[in-house]
Structure 1
Amino acid sequence: MKADVTTLAAAKAGTVDLAEAIFGLKPRPDLIQRMVRYQLAKRRAGTHHAQDRSEVNVTGKKMYKQKGTGGARHGDKSVPQWRGGGKAFGPKPRDHAFELPKKVRALALRHALSAKQAAGELVVLDKAESKEGKTQALRDQFAKLEWTNVLIIDGAELQTDFVRAARNLPNIDVLPVQGINVYDILRRRKLVLTKAAIAALEERFADAVNNHAAEGSKS
């Protein structure tokens, strides 16, 4: 499929071919949701901790004698029933991450890219470069392009001046192509890919592109 290429000056810079195997799939929300859950679970610190009865700092002395008080029988004050006692079955530090096959993760990324293309929220940029390296100049360019909430993916190396100019702009994220992920793609309204990023993605998913082309020739 063809896609128009734009520049930061809001001028046309030709067209580019987008691989059907990467940008032309029918999006599967269930697959994308699995990947988002996987990413968010891996981000959890898992440092939550509640003291149990062996950890609370209270006396271990028996509260009162066993019989003759007219009340229930109790031991020390570390039990959960009493204020200041340990929590029963409270949270302990643990890893919340779970396994997701590598092929499923790769497929989810392609479906997320296809979802952005299908929704008309994918923009192809010629180059992500800033001459001045100034935030105000980049803000004016983004305003002309109507970019208020975007994720910009460039090639393997980002231009330092562009990153410096963009980092002070709210709701603007800039990542190298190796950092592209499903959660950040969905978090922003528009996805902006440079031509270098598209070339890197096609190289990364070369097997999927070749398989898709082979299936198309058979049909």
Structure 2
Amino acid sequence: MKVTVYNLKREAVGELDLSDDVFGTEVKEHLFYEVVKAQLASRRAGTKATKERSAVAGSSKKLYRQKGTGRARQGSIRAPHHAGGGHAHALTPQDWSYRPPRKVRIGALKSALSLFAKENRLIVLDTLDLPEIKTKALVTTLETLQVGKKSLVVDSPSNEKLVKSIRNLVEHQFLPPEGVNVYDLLRHDHLVVSREAAKALEARCLR
């Protein structure tokens, strides 16, 4: 498929031939669910924990003899029903992360890229070279490109002026081609990529 290439003033300066297998494939929305669920599950800290009776402070000695006192039998001051005792069913740290098969991950990424291309929310730029490190100037450029309130900007991480200009913006995000993922794609309105980044994304999906 051919897409129009723009400059930073949103003037058409040429065309770029992209693979239909990456930017023009069938959109399989069920893959979005599988991959996003895995991404969010992997972000869970899973660090909640409470102490069971073996982990709390206190003697393990039997409080008093079993019979003859007229009192209820007791085994340890660390039992759950005593003040300061351990939890009966203690919470333990868990690892919630899992990794879907590679075909599912790549299929979801291809579907997301194709969705942006199909809905005309993919903007390919000839270059993303900025004249200076200035957030306000970048905001003006993004408004000129008509990318809406939220955009994902993809270019080489060596583009220091772009990286430093965009890092203070809450609604806009920068990612290198190797870091583009389904979750971050779906939560932005537009995808802005340089010519080289578009080819890098294509090569990543076709590996």
Which TM-score tier does this pair reach, normalised by the shorter chain? 0.7 to 0.9
Counterpart of 2:164 in structure 1 is 164
**Distance in 1 (alpha carbons) for counterparts of 2:15 and 2:161:** 26
Query: Is the deviation greater in 139-148 or in 61-70?
Result: 61-70
| Cα pair 2:178 2:204 within 8 Å, conserved | no
- Paired letter, 1:154: D
| Equivalent position of 1:135 in the other structure | 135
Secondary structure, aligned partner of 2:193: strand
Q: CA deviation at 1:185?
A: 1.0
> Counterpart in 1 of 2:122?
122
- 2:150 — aligned with what? 149
CA distance in 2, matches of 1:99, 1:175: 21
Mark the runs of 5 or more structure 1 residues left unpaired by the alignment. Answer: 208-219
* CA 1:73–1:121: 2 relative to 1, 3 Å: farther
Alignment: residue pair count: 206
The alignment's TM-score, normalised by the length of structure 2, stands at 0.85
Q: Which secondary structure state, in structure 2, belongs to the residue aligned with residue 205 of structure 1?
A: helix
For structure 2, which runs of at least 5 residues remain unmatched after alignment? Answer: none
SS of the residue 2:196 aligns to: helix
Match of 1:90 in 2: 90
**Structure 1 residues 62 and 3: CA distance shift in structure 2, 3 A:** same
Correspondence list, 1:1-219, <5 A: 1-62=1-62, 66-67=66-67, 72-147=72-147, 148-155=149-156, 157-206=157-206
**Could you say what secondary structure the match of 1:15 adopts?**
strand
Q: Partner of 1:200: helix, strand, or coil? A: helix
CA contact 2:112–2:186 (8 Å) conserved in 1:
yes
How far does residue 151 in structure 1 lie from its aligned partner after superposition?
Answer: 0.8
Counterpart Cα distance in 1 of 2:88 and 2:116: 46
The verdict on how the C-alpha distance between 1:70 and 1:128 changes in structure 2, with shifts beyond 3 A counting, is farther
TM-score by length of 1: 0.81
Cα deviation, residue 68, structure 1: 6.3
RMSD: 2.4
Give the whole-Å Cα distance in 2 for the aligned partners of 1:30 and 1:14.
35
